[in-house]
Amino acid sequence: MSTVGKVIKCKAAIVFEAKGPFKIVEIEVAPPKAHEVRIKILGTGICRTDEHVQAGAIKVNYPVIPGHEAVGIVESIGEGVTCVKPGDKVIPLCLPQCGRCPPCKNPEGNMCQKSDFLTAKGVMYDGTSRFSYKGKPVHNFVNTSTFTEYTVVHEDAVVKIDPAAPIEKACLMGCGFSTGYGAATKTAKVTPGSTCAVFGLGGVGLPVIIGCKTSGASRIIGIDINKAKFPIAKELGATECISPLDFKKPINEVLLDMTDGEGVDYSFEVIGHTDTMAAALASCNLNYGVSVMVGVPPSAAEMTLSPRLIFTGRTWKGSVFGGLKSKDDIPKLVLAGMEKKFNLDPLVTHVLPFEKINEGFELLHKGQSIRTVLKM
């Protein structure tokens, strides 16, 4: 029986309040309005940012359906949609690309003004939600909401991919891989023969290593307190790995010692902690070093730094979605992954049924997973 134009009842994982658990309940998903797309989710990845939503560390409106890294099939489209059609395999975009605003038109920009990443309103462009539970609206998350069997996104926030793309690996392109890989190749523009340091060896930090290696870096130092991640980091391109817990001096001083006092050419903070952001900045060369903030910081976080860290010439940059333009770049990355231009196999460590979402987050909390993909 066709579901086009009808309300769909399905399962979704809702966070009703900060620090509350994910509760799987039956929700109603309204049909797409004009320029909107309703998607049947096939698989969705568990990202640290979703944990921040659950913990209340980043600003959202509750109740909310998190999830922003997924692959699905277009179930139906609203009036005026031309970029996809029913049956297309797609990736919802947590960073839209409308193609009309100044960041979209700027070759170096990607922070589309239609993004809900900073405003966190949790509604569609018309100010309403397509999700409801027991007759009351439920908010979406960063234009996507993928912890549900069906979601509705604006056409600015969806892109068609190769129909043969494997679900588990294609999911990574919706956030984790693209963000890390792009941070190295697009934001930092790592150069051949350079030295890099990557703080945090998780589902985003490891793709940073892949990006550094692809760009020709000669030395890539992985940094994490969880040594269980070191073998995977080395398999993907890290030349050496260290734990801050093994040293009595600050980690930025350790990195200076490892580079004969010069510091690294490029450093990447992929954790989202202000102390490691400062350490990453101080670890790169004082004159020409580039440090990139990749990890999402808590909404209330603030930093105090000496201006001399910047005055000497260092460059300190932020990177959202790796600086990539989502609609333009994701299909290319999916294809490159299918062509084995980089190794994605070690990144997906667990595949679980959707009903075990809380188990997936436990694996993340305990440092036992890189990426867990939930299959619908």
**Confidence grade of residue 333 (pLDDT, cut at 50, 70, 90):** very high
Which pLDDT tens digit goes with each residue over 79-110? 999 999 999 999 999 999 999 999 999 999 99
Which pLDDT tens digit goes with each residue over 214-235? 999 999 999 999 999 999 999 9
Q: Measure the CA–CA gap between 224 and 201, rounded to whole angstroms.
A: 6
Question: What's the whole-model pTM score?
Answer: 0.95
**Confidence grade of residue 266 (pLDDT, cut at 50, 70, 90):** very high
Token digits of residue 371: 């990426």
Q: Measure the CA–CA gap between 328 and 310, rounded to whole angstroms.
A: 33
**Confidence grade of residue 285 (pLDDT, cut at 50, 70, 90):** very high
pLDDT of residue 170: 97
Inform me whether the pLDDT recorded for 199 exceeds 80.
yes
**How far apart, in Å, do the first and last CA atoms of the chain sit?**
20
pLDDT of residue 118: 85
Which pLDDT tens digit goes with each residue over 172-192? 999 999 999 999 999 999 999
Average pLDDT of the residues in 326-342? 96
Inform me whether the pLDDT recorded for 300 exceeds 80.
no
Inform me whether the pLDDT recorded for 2 exceeds 90.
no
Average pLDDT of the residues in 315-343? 96
Q: Measure the CA–CA gap between 247 and 254, rounded to whole angstroms.
A: 8
Beta-carbon contacts of residue 51 (< 8 Å; ≥ 6 apart): 361, 364, 365
Angle at 95 between CA 148 and CA 86, to 5 degrees: 55
Each domain of the chain, given as residue ranges in start order, spans 179-322, 344-375
Question: Which single residue is written with the structure tokens 């929700």?
Answer: 27
**Confidence grade of residue 296 (pLDDT, cut at 50, 70, 90):** confident
Counting residues of the chain whose pLDDT is more than 90, the rounded percentage is: 92
Inform me whether the pLDDT recorded for 299 exceeds 90.
no
pLDDT of residue 301: 79
Which pLDDT tens digit goes with each residue over 146-168? 999 999 999 999 999 999 999 99
- Domain spanning 179-322, CATH class: alpha beta
Transcribe 211-240 into DSSP letters: HHHHTT-SEEEEE-S-GGGHHHHHHHT-SE
Contact 141, 174 (CB under 8 A): no
Which pLDDT tens digit goes with each residue over 110-119? 999 999 988 8
Mean confidence (pLDDT) of the chain? 96
